[in-house]
Structure 1
């Protein structure tokens, strides 16, 4: 089952989600094309280096005879998954994502296999930090932050409508919302 934002532009299907009098002002989807940048190249290099080390270890273990070399298959597979996942993972997630902006909130909906459906709402108020990032033909409108736990502490990530063609229009809608709430 997936979210179909085109059928919901009139508010149908949003019963119990939207507040009384809340109206949808914009809906869209992110671009799902593969975008190759610095983060993807680093992930790819690390993954291939990890897989390459595992392949060398497996070759050396195989030369000793027996089946001990098969323990390296897990590491080799993880390395390949890291390399491929860093390039094709984000577009795959974007392909399963929908965005909705109302006159009060921003919604990000995802429908990912094995993770299920998720709908997260972000209040857009006068103090909401808004920013626009340009990436070729697409723009990202950031309107929130989240803290992601890492092995050595946590890191702040921007939250927003990623890789949309009408980012400036959405940013202007959000700025108008902020002005109306002041």
Structure 2
């Protein structure tokens, strides 16, 4: 995407694009070697054992509909397969439909997932953190997103929903080949904004 193709009405007047890119494409299988992946192996193995054992016990049983009982293990099997390796396939799909844009004022993350277009913006002046994970590819992290989840709590004899702090997700430009260059661009812009603010302070 360029400033004249799809960005009309989104960028502020005078806002200049400094860099554009996409995350590294393809499935990164080494990401499956994580605590989640290892737990997925155990979870999948237990699900297969449960399905096989249930099917063996009912092989000469009362017949339909009891023969469908082993199928109740399929959701657990699917969850285990997702934890074991499915999440890296999903991550590859999300990266393939993600575009990054850095301007002299804002970092943009655009996605098109299942036909739904989303655009997130992160003003450089509001970034309270900036971290570089160097490598090929690397990450440039400039914020966190906190997700609150409802939780059922008992209060005065009644159960009510209450929002509690849940997961924390880092936001930024992930799996990019020019991570160090982009990190330096953002740092330079932050320094320039700080100098301008000092000069304008009486």
Aligned length: 173
Name the CA shift for 1:39/1:110 in 2 (closer, same or farther; >3 Å): same
Q: How far off is 1:153 after superposition?
A: 4.2
Distance in 2 (CA, whole Å) between partners of 1:123 and 1:71 is 48
Indicate whether 1:133 and 2:133 are aligned. yes
Q: How far off is 1:173 after superposition?
A: 1.4
Name the CA shift for 1:13/1:145 in 2 (closer, same or farther; >3 Å): same
RMSD over aligned Cα atoms: 2.3
Distance in 2 (CA, whole Å) between partners of 1:123 and 1:42 is 34
Q: How far off is 1:97 after superposition?
A: 0.6
Q: How far off is 1:40 after superposition?
A: 4.2
SS in 2 for 1:125: helix
Q: How far off is 1:169 after superposition?
A: 1.4
Distance in 2 (CA, whole Å) between partners of 1:157 and 1:11 is 32
Distance in 1 (CA, whole Å) between partners of 2:73 and 2:4 is 53
Partner of 1:171: 183
Where in structure 1 are there 5+ consecutive unaligned residues?
A: none
Partner of 1:103: 104
Partner of 1:35: 28
Kindly report which structure 2 residues correspond to 1:18-167, keeping only aligned pairs within 5 A, or say none.
18-37=11-30, 40-65=33-58, 66=63, 67=67, 68-113=69-114, 116-125=116-125, 128-135=128-135, 137-149=136-148, 153-167=165-179
Q: How far off is 1:92 after superposition?
A: 1.9
- Residue deviations 1:28-87, cap 9 Å, x none? 011023334466432222223222212211222112224121221222222223222233
SS in 2 for 1:173: helix
Are the aligned partners of 2:130 and 2:141 in contact in 1 as well (CA < 8 Å)?
A: yes
Are the aligned partners of 1:43 and 1:86 in contact in 2 as well (CA < 8 Å)?
A: no
Are the aligned partners of 1:146 and 1:156 in contact in 2 as well (CA < 8 Å)?
A: yes
Where in structure 2 are there 5+ consecutive unaligned residues?
A: 152-163, 195-202
SS in 2 for 1:180: helix
Q: Comparing 41-50 with 95-104, which one deviates more in the overlay?
A: 41-50
Are the aligned partners of 2:50 and 2:73 in contact in 1 as well (CA < 8 Å)?
A: yes
Partner of 2:5: 12
Q: What TM-score, normalized to structure 1?
A: 0.83
Are the aligned partners of 1:139 and 1:164 in contact in 2 as well (CA < 8 Å)?
A: yes
Higher Rg: 2
